[in-house]
Structure 1
Amino acid sequence: MRSIHEANLSGQDTTEAYIREFPNREQVRMMKIWLENHEPGTFSFTGLVDPTDVTVVTPQATVDYGYCWFSLSDGPAIVHAPQYELFCSVSVFDMLHNVPAVIVNPARPILLIRPGQEVPNGDYTIVELETDQGLILIRMVVVDNLDEVQALHPSIRMEGGSGDMTRPVQRFSPGVEEAGRAIIAAGIPFLNPDEAFGKCSGDVGDITLAGGVMIGQLGTPSDTVRYGTILTDADGAPLTGNDTYELTVPQGIVKGDGYFSITVYDSDTKLLIPNDLGVYDRTTYSAEPEPDGTYRIILSPNGKGHNAIPTGRPFYAILRAYVPVPGADMTVGITRH
């Protein structure tokens, strides 16, 4: 039986094949950019992400990312992560944008393995991948402690993972590619973020997964992170950089060891919007709650207001809830002033 990706590479120049292949294309694109300056099986770190970082669309701002692209073609690999008092997560992605594991504040090394490979001796959290190549993404929340976070970088490492990084990508005619992207984009307003990403192939439909990757590559399944997208105002109009909006983040959406963030992105680039204040998000750590436990956040052109984030360009926002409360209402209220 052929794998899903082998079927994608069958040479069918159709919009259906393009949509199936879209997650692989985007993963390979990101991997190639990273490999231009880094070796497989080694970690690189972003520090605090700013608008000049174009490695991945829709990044978080007050997070230090660690990236490690790897290959298991020569055997398993082991990831060592540090103990950290604030939020730290280790996400494992394959090239089809499956997310077989997200481990929060890992207590032991993580073993990455392909089916049929021999498991080495040791006490590991074992994660099995569907593709040889993949990505480890480490997120460490930064709360006025960047020096402390950066001091942990040497302890974050991978044993192995430096195998063959070759990954095939199907080519499509320009017309099919344009039509495929249009179909994916048209489905985004109807996308349920809780259903956008899966742990293995078949968990998520082709258009749903492609839409999730287009609007937020490296998103993860809802049992570890839940997402809410704010694309329009209460009347359904696109969000502009000239108006001021008030968001209300509901209370009780994360557990005690989790946190939420609201981040604003440029509608065209899907990257952070440059601003003189250097403020791109508000989180549990940087916003003041209301007496009822909700959070009132202002999105304004100049960044003025309570728990404010500057805009100044057409934008959208994403709510992320890490270590979420299952079934909690993630609806963000929005009013235009």
Structure 2
Amino acid sequence: MVLDVSSPVELTVSEIEKAKTRLQGYASLTPLLNFPVLDERVNGRVFIKAENLQRTGSFKFRGAFNRLSLIPEDKRPAGVVACSSGNHAQGVAAAAKILGFPATIVMPKDAPELKIQRTKALGAEVVLYDRETEDREAIAKGICEERGATFIHPYNDSGVIVGQGTTGLEIAEQCEVLGVTPDLVISCTGGGGLTSGIALALEEKLPEVQIYTAEPDGFDDYARSLEAGERMSNPALGGSVCDAVLTETPGDKGFSVLSRRHAKGLSVSDEEALNAVAFAYFELKLVVEPGAAVALASVLSKKIDLTGKTAVITISGGNVDPAVFATALKQYSAETVPA
């Protein structure tokens, strides 16, 4: 089932700059944080781009608002349709509410209840589906055809990608203010919209920085794709606690950017992701969801040696299911927190 994911913009730094202007007054300028406890743990310097503090609790608002802003006035009454397990859903719903047109979100039945309820609270219509037996894009296409609505892809849309790329512009500007030149950037990665947007934004401003994707084990399609030089798929559609970054295959638009930037891939187990969620809470005082903690997990579990290096990592969202959060904290407090 093929959905129209055309967008009226190109993947360029100048378009990211335009997106930054559109987002002013709507998106939050999230902080770039440094914690001695984390630096000591990895024997290097780590700066965290805290997108869990972004509007709607994740970076997704950036891309959603930018893309919806590009929709012509005469097409807005027909609304927008998106597929999402939660963060893109909330980003699209919030952007549509601000801009004044309807939104319908196709969400898996096993998405965290908190994300479903918050999407509804933002005024969007939610259509639930079974990710194992139903085709979400077929459902979305049917709604678009029936209503004449615009489909907003969560990551394979250049208007979305350049919106996410404003995160990268902020990283470059904040690093300059701090007098920091990072050796690498590690970004939580599902379909690649955020990571490719950051990579594109830094292509001119920090051309030597090494870009890494971070994914859950078993859903490391980006790592395998970058190594193979072509897009690969995951064998399963679900089964990880990192629901926010579970995608079938990389988007071709983001993959083209990350291939050009010679990005590399890292992956972590669910246990390592949950440990990172708890570490962020106990040691950094940040609330993070598992899928948004995979970059942090990759440095905590030493998937990459940061000795003497400076890294920027993303925490991409904080919309954690309360039960999952409790499990993470219990696991960590029982085994890791000193008496």
TM-score range, shorter chain: under 0.3
Q: Which has the higher helix share?
A: 2
Which has the greater radius of gyration? 1
Q: TM-score, normalised by structure 2?
A: 0.27
Q: Which has the higher strand share?
A: 1
